[in-house]
Structure 1
């Protein structure tokens, strides 16, 4: 369990464990979001390099005939390698997007459950009055908003 969560007062162990779970899911979501963004940029850069390469080796040299351009494209094995890499990067980007969306749904569902069940987590009167301190720690330390269900 992370130190700021462990040090929370007016919170029982089960609630601390739930807060730790939402922290872990937020961390997982952030990791997949970062990987997805990196894969987007890698795909864009690789595709741009491929298009520049095609322009310099095929389009400018054989621009007089489509058949000559097609023949030059097919004859150069680098084009197939670049094309396979670009398609593979695009597929990897989509796979990471699915994982990011799944991690976001898990994180958001647990966060909404905490917001919905806050009366169950902080049952005593003094715990209920001081729950905003827990919410502030979660917002400040981990950027997890427990005040509202909306993102």
Structure 2
């Protein structure tokens, strides 16, 4: 459990602390998938650019006088197929990571919204209710998790 969550001694009960820890874990998972997806996007863009430049230099420019020659030169070189498979594979990885990122975001936002909706139940006592803004401020500052509103 995060040290900040442990330090919330009298302000929250153990169940609420566990919910806050779960939302932190989901946020970290979402951030991890976001970073991986962004990296895969840039790798895909880079490989596609390199591939098209390679095709232009080795196939299109020397054989630009005939489409049949371009096609023939493209098919004869096995590196073209390998490069095409590599580029398509990175695109597939990018799509897969996007789906995982969206799933992680959905889980994170769902749990965050549940905490916002149930805040009256989680901080029932008068003293806890008055101090909940300290918990919300800590979550916003330390973990960039907004518990004040349901909207992102």
Please state which band the TM-score falls in when normalised by the shorter chain. Answer: over 0.9
The whole-number CA distance in structure 2 between the counterparts of 1:52 and 1:83 is 13
* 1:2 and 2:5 are equivalent in the alignment: no
Q: Structure 2: 5+ residue runs without aligned partners?
A: none
Displacement after TM superposition at 1:8 (Å): 1.2
Which residue is equivalent to 1:111?
Answer: 112
* 1:90 and 2:91 are equivalent in the alignment: yes
RMSD: 0.5
Which residue is equivalent to 2:51?
Answer: 50
Point out 4+ residue stretches in structure 1 off by more than 2 angstroms. Answer: none
Which residue is equivalent to 2:125?
Answer: 124
* 1:149 and 2:150 are equivalent in the alignment: yes
The whole-number CA distance in structure 2 between the counterparts of 1:120 and 1:34 is 35
Q: Structure 1: 5+ residue runs without aligned partners?
A: none
The whole-number CA distance in structure 2 between the counterparts of 1:5 and 1:142 is 11
TM-score, with normalisation over the residues of structure 1? 0.99
- The count of aligned residue pairs is 151
